[in-house]
Amino acid sequence: MLLLVSVLVVGCSSAGHSQTQKESTKTNAVQTEMRNVMYHFTESVTVHILELHGALVPVRQDGLPIFDDSRSFNLEISSANITMTTDSLANVLNQYVFVASEAPLKDLTVTTEGNKLKVKGKLHSKGDISFETVGTLSATPEGQIRIHAQKVKAAHLPVKGLMDLLGLNIADLINTKKVRGVRSEENDLILDPQQILPPPHIEGRVTAIRIEGNQIVQVFGNKPKAELPLAFGGNYMAYRGAQLRFGKLTMSDTDMILIDMDPKDPFDFYLDHYRDQLVAGHTKITPEFGLRVFMRDFNKLRKEQRQIKKAAPRPPS
């Protein structure tokens, strides 16, 4: 009886500590709003954030979001519309999800066929046999992404009918137990957006998903019933409340908006290179000590740098 009571007390104490830790990180969260942003996770993985409401939540209990450390915070999404190209999805799968040498799938390419997704690659766990699958996309009740295979080819031969005849399915062919953010379930692959993308990791539920051209359109959460006032009229990323660190500065009661210097196209932003974009732009201080940062698009910054390098005179020999 004493042992049981001790276990219950320890369990309640641990649960209380965990809850307190969550509440502490929420208190340190910086509210964010984004509009028309091309957000680079890596050189080859980019998403288009059409609109987003959420928060930067520090990973550590006593921490704060740090722009110079993408692992210091998660992006918690309350509502958003985000698109990703099939090329970016393929890069995520090849360079981040199935990157381990023992991963069951390799050399993946992703394209669309109307409103369906086509995935090609190699079954590495089956001797690198080439495969191709065509399937539909949907959101699971848990807020993840379901790819349901309708057609399957292996070594260029249709095998879906044979698999059905033998009582086999995708889960029998692909072992995803040691794969980050992916699991097989009968004839479906389930992708967890919170795990498959590089840092900063996102936290949020996918409530709808569809294909438009070569774009995969993901809807997170539910749109607010009342339209919230925009922080700015153009393309931007706004941050408010709590503390936010960037470079050598720490902003208290954060009031910062990163603004696209060229609103004619999406705001091209790369967190790992935000300082280069910052240096190429300019800043303004509001009467309330808010910070307005006008930033150069990352893709245009790179073009300008290349042009400068080409135009630079050669040193005398």
Return the percentage of the chain with pLDDT > 70, whole number. Answer: 78
Residues 177 and 148 in one domain: yes
Residues 212 and 92 in one domain: yes
What is the C-alpha separation between 77 and 56, in angstroms, rounded? 9
Which strand (E) or helix (H) includes residue 252? none
Residues 92 and 182 in one domain: yes
Residue 51 belongs to some domain of the structure: yes
Pure H helices in the chain: 2-27, 86-92, 160-166, 170-173, 193-196, 274-279, 298-311
pLDDT given for residue 230 in this prediction: 63
Q: In the chain, how many domains are there?
A: 2
Residues 288 and 234 in one domain: yes
State mean pLDDT over 49-58: 96
Structure-block tokens of residue 249: 């500065």
Residue 1 belongs to some domain of the structure: no
DSSP state of 125: G
* Cα-based angle 107, 271, 264 (whole degrees, multiple of 5): 95
Residue 72 belongs to some domain of the structure: yes
Nearest to 52 by CA among 75, 29, 79: 79
49: number of Cβ within 10 Å: 22
Residues 129 and 239 in one domain: no
Global pTM reads 0.82
What is the C-alpha separation between 113 and 24, in angstroms, rounded? 46
Residues 129 and 187 in one domain: yes
Handedness of CA 263, 234, 89, 32 (dihedral sign): positive
Nearest to 111 by CA among 219, 217, 216: 216
pLDDT given for residue 151 in this prediction: 84
What is the C-alpha separation between 144 and 26, in angstroms, rounded? 23
Residues 157 and 92 in one domain: yes
CA separation (Å) from 273 to 229, 246, 301? 29, 12, 10
Residues 44 and 114 in one domain: no
* Cα-based angle 194, 19, 22 (whole degrees, multiple of 5): 45
Block residue for tokens 């408010």: 240
- Burial grade of 153 (CB within 10 A; 0-12, 13-18, 19 or more): middle
pLDDT given for residue 222 in this prediction: 82
Residue 300 belongs to some domain of the structure: yes
pLDDT given for residue 180 in this prediction: 84
User: What confidence tier does 9 reach under pLDDT thresholds 50, 70, 90?
Assistant: very low
Residues 163 and 212 in one domain: yes
> Which carries the bigger pLDDT value, residue 300 or residue 9?
300
101: number of Cβ within 10 Å: 6
Structure-block tokens of residue 193: 């957006």
Q: Which residue type is seen at 311?
A: A
Handedness of CA 280, 286, 291, 295 (dihedral sign): negative
Residue 95 has pLDDT above 60, yes or no: yes
Which has the minimum average pLDDT: 49-63, 103-117, 147-161, 267-281?
Answer: 147-161
Residue 20 has pLDDT above 70, yes or no: no
Residues 48 and 136 in one domain: no
State mean pLDDT over 278-301: 94
State mean pLDDT over 110-122: 93
Residue 311 belongs to some domain of the structure: no
- Residue 72 domain boundaries: 28-79+225-304
pLDDT given for residue 126 in this prediction: 75
Residue 309 belongs to some domain of the structure: no
Which has the minimum average pLDDT: 123-132, 150-159, 194-203, 216-225?
Answer: 150-159
Residue 7 belongs to some domain of the structure: no
What is the C-alpha separation between 241 and 289, in angstroms, rounded? 13
3-class state of residue 124 by DSSP: helix
Structure-block tokens of residue 259: 């603004």
pLDDT given for residue 271 in this prediction: 95
Residues 75 and 175 in one domain: no
Return the percentage of the chain with pLDDT > 90, whole number. Answer: 60
Residues 98 and 190 in one domain: yes
pLDDT given for residue 17 in this prediction: 47
Residue 17 belongs to some domain of the structure: no
